[in-house]
Amino acid sequence: MSSATSHTVFPIGRVHSPLRRPGDAPKQGYEGAPNARIQIETSFLPGLDGIGPGQQILILTWLHEARRDVLAVHPRDDKTQPLAGVFASRSADRPNPIGVHRVKVLAVESDGALLVEGLEAIDGTPVLDIKPALPRAGGW
Amino acid sequence: MSSATSHTVFPIGRVHSPLRRPGDAPKQGYEGAPNARIQIETSFLPGLDGIGPGQQILILTWLHEARRDVLAVHPRDDKTQPLAGVFASRSADRPNPIGVHRVKVLAVESDGALLVEGLEAIDGTPVLDIKPALPRAGGW
């Protein structure tokens, strides 16, 4: 890693969720993750203009408890599975631990928070970006 | 932005593409983007173990020419469309300019580079992460 080519990211908001620890979270949002609130920093609220209930969005998170020095993992933390490269897995542990979560917006609350369905990120996870999902590109 | 809550990301590789400037690129990969090579840094090549031809992957990029101080954009750079919040758009201009691109792997070359189909990122774009797309989650 060279500082000449590194870049800085910062939270635009945070996840509020009943999930408190990584061990509490399902591996993927579609595996029974609870609803969550995305609290956006006040200064970034204008960026939400155009997001409404029913939309599918991508939430990019900073997986703040991840290890960044790992290049091989057991898929789904299942030690009976052979090691695979981190880029062939969705493990949180990876050189740049950025999570990509597709969720449905249930509501935009009066303070600008987004209530979303089925998010596997734990409480306090920093949010880096929100994008609309693109149905023509397979929904991502 | 507080340095206490910011995080550092760095390239694990770079895009090599015939697209030289943002104006050359289609807005989305499915809109006629050319094939591209993803050259991974040697030290990160073990992380690719398990990725092969035919797989759908997500490539996360650092959109290095983006403006980070923009919260409202004309969707698809079309000035006839009303301004919308950046988080309701896929504009490269956004507080944390991270691109998410879903592409198919065409080949893994002998030096570990990935040849991928239809990528709208321009030549030289830093790559931050690669993940398998998840068919059960709508393909993202």
> What was the ipTM of the complex prediction?
0.91
Contact B140 A48 (CB under 8 A): no
What pLDDT is recorded for position B77? 80
Are B31 and B97 in contact by the 8 Å Cβ rule? The answer is: no
Beta-carbon neighbour count of residue B137 at 10 Å? Answer: 19
Place of tokens 């290049």: A71
What pLDDT is recorded for position A132? 95
CA distance B114 to B78: 33
Once rounded to an integer, what is the mean pLDDT over residues A69-98? 93
Q: Which of A46, A132, A139 sits opposite B90 (nearest CB)?
A: A132
What pLDDT is recorded for position A134? 85
CA distance B29 to B113: 19
B43, B96, B125, B134: which to substitute to probe chain A, counting the most A Cβ within 10 Å? B96
Contacts with B49 from chain A: Cβ below 8 Å: 72, 83-85, 88
Of the pLDDT bands very low, low, confident and very high (cuts 50, 70, 90), residue A136 is low
Contact B102 A140 (CB under 8 A): yes
CA-to-CA dists, residue B29 to A19, A37, B100, angstroms: 35, 31, 10
Residue A88 in 3-state DSSP? helix
Are B30 and A137 in contact by the 8 Å Cβ rule? The answer is: yes
What pLDDT is recorded for position A1? 47
Of the pLDDT bands very low, low, confident and very high (cuts 50, 70, 90), residue A24 is confident
Contact A87 B1 (CB under 8 A): no
Contact A60 B100 (CB under 8 A): yes
pLDDT above 90 as % of chain A: 74
Cβ contacts of B2 within 8 Å, gap of 6 or more:
A10
What pLDDT is recorded for position B4? 61
Contact A128 B88 (CB under 8 A): no
Contact A5 B11 (CB under 8 A): yes
Q: Is the model's pLDDT at A47 over the cut of 70?
A: yes
What pLDDT is recorded for position B18? 94
Give the pTM.
0.92
Nearest residue of B to residue A98, measured between CA atoms: B129
A9, A63, A103, A136: which to substitute to probe chain B, counting the most B Cβ within 10 Å? A9
- Bridging pattern class, strands A36-40 and A13-16: antiparallel
One DSSP character per residue, B28-71 reads: STTTTPPPEEEEEPGGGGGGGTT--TT-EEEEEEE-TT--SS--
B38: tokens are 């993803």
What pLDDT is recorded for position A137? 57
Q: Is the model's pLDDT at A50 over the cut of 60?
A: yes
Q: How many CB pairs under 8 A join A and B?
A: 186
Contacts with B136 from chain A: Cβ below 8 Å: 28, 30
Is the CA virtual torsion B125, B128, B132, B137 positive or negative? negative
Nearest residue of B to residue A75, measured between CA atoms: B50
Contacts with A2 from chain B: Cβ below 8 Å: 10
CA-based nearest distance A12→chain B, Å: 8
What pLDDT is recorded for position B29? 74
DSSP H or E segment with residue B8: strand B7-9
The chain-wide mean pLDDT, for chain A, equals 91
Task: Give me the average pLDDT of each 10-residue run along chain B (140 residues).
Answer: 78 96 77 92 96 96 95 88 94 96 95 94 96 73
Nearest alpha carbon to residue A29 among A55, A58, A64, A62: A58
CA-to-CA dists, residue B15 to A95, B41, B104, B128, angstroms: 18, 11, 15, 11
What pLDDT is recorded for position A31? 75
> Of the spans A67-76, A90-99, B24-33, which averages the highest pLDDT?
A90-99
Are A97 and A62 in contact by the 8 Å Cβ rule? The answer is: yes
Nearest residue of A to residue B139, measured between CA atoms: A138
